[in-house]
Structure 1
Amino acid sequence: MSDRPSVLFVCVHNAGRSQMAAGWLRHLAGDRVEVRSAGSAPAENVNPAAVEAMREVGVDLTDQRPKLLGHDTVESSDVVVTMGCGDVCPVFPGKRYEDWKLEDPAGRGVDAVRPIRDEIRARVEDLLAGLFPTDRP
């Protein structure tokens, strides 16, 4: 892994969980981490409830768009975090993979998305601590 690791968040539609995780990592890590997200069957837009839930905590997702997962994106990432994408995510030797079991925010209102958002933040904080263990007090 390089001095600036690359993390890819993957879910099916790249419209909720992966977008919130990417938003949290950009927010918490700044430019220390290259942050990517993609989906195996991207939606047209990011879930409005996810956008609103993240806006409430000062993370802006309004400029994000769902993107199609490509082999090259996985291959050039150091860490790949999957969130319910099943077997569609390609596996490359030497990559660190994590599979996060999270509720899908699709079709839910902002009240139901908030706990998912908060769980994702905790997982991103743990991921970040593992990427930069010397930053811990």
Structure 2
Amino acid sequence: MSDKPSVLFVCVHNAGRSQMAAGWLRHLAGDAVEVRSAGSMPGDRINPSAVEAMAEVGIDITDQRPTILTTEAVEASDVVITMGCGDACPVFPGKRYLDWALEDPAGKGVESVRPIRDEIESRIRGLLTELQVAPAANR
């Protein structure tokens, strides 16, 4: 077991919102937080507009792949953040669940994905505060 907090981001396709959130958390927390992401019905690839929007802020998520949500991933996480996966997300006692209502970037161009990316960044910064983890640049 690790002493560091672990966060799982879940959306339906694990191709946009959850991948951007995981990218932001990895970028801002460094190795101080274990980061996972998954989807209830993972897509074939990450949304290219999400990749482009994240690249604009210096975060490379091109090496990430949509992953199927497993009960093991939920069990191994302290915080589970859902983003529109509905009833497909398993619920375990003792886990902290947050539901972030974020627009789905599927089928949108980068100009429409930027505000979603920025909203995710804001929420990740708030999450770091709640987890009492200083952003990597401040350590």
Q: For 2:126 and 2:110, how far apart are their aligned partners in 1?
A: 24
Partner of 1:82: 82
TM-score calculated relative to the size of structure 1: 0.95
Partner of 1:40: 40
Partner of 1:56: 56
Q: Confirm or deny that 1:108 pairs with 2:108.
A: yes
- Matching of residues 2-21 of structure 1 within 5 Å: 3-21=3-21
Following superposition, the deviation at residue 11 of structure 1 comes to: 0.1
Following superposition, the deviation at residue 2 of structure 1 comes to: 5.6
What SS does the corresponding residue of 1:129 show, helix, strand or coil?
helix
User: Percent same amino acid at aligned positions?
Assistant: 73
Deviations 1:71-121 (A, max 9, x none): 010011000000000011000000000000000000000000000000000
TM-score calculated relative to the size of structure 2: 0.94
Q: For 1:48 and 1:108, how far apart are their aligned partners in 2?
A: 10
Q: For 1:114 and 1:13, how far apart are their aligned partners in 2?
A: 19
- Over aligned residue pairs, what C-alpha RMSD do you find? 1.6
Runs of 5+ consecutive residues of structure 1 not aligned to the other structure = none
Runs of 5+ consecutive residues of structure 2 not aligned to the other structure = none
Paired residues in the alignment total 136
Q: Residue 112 of structure 2 aligns to which amino acid in structure 1?
A: A
Deviations 1:8-50 (A, max 9, x none): 0000000000000000000000000000000000000000000
Partner of 2:67: 67
Q: Residue 46 of structure 2 aligns to which amino acid in structure 1?
A: V
Q: Residue 86 of structure 1 aligns to which amino acid in structure 2?
A: G
Partner of 1:120: 120
Q: For 1:127 and 1:85, how far apart are their aligned partners in 2?
A: 20
What SS does the corresponding residue of 1:9 show, helix, strand or coil?
strand
Q: Residue 43 of structure 1 aligns to which amino acid in structure 2?
A: G
What SS does the corresponding residue of 1:80 show, helix, strand or coil?
strand
Q: For 2:22 and 2:54, how far apart are their aligned partners in 1?
A: 11
Q: Residue 89 of structure 1 aligns to which amino acid in structure 2?
A: C
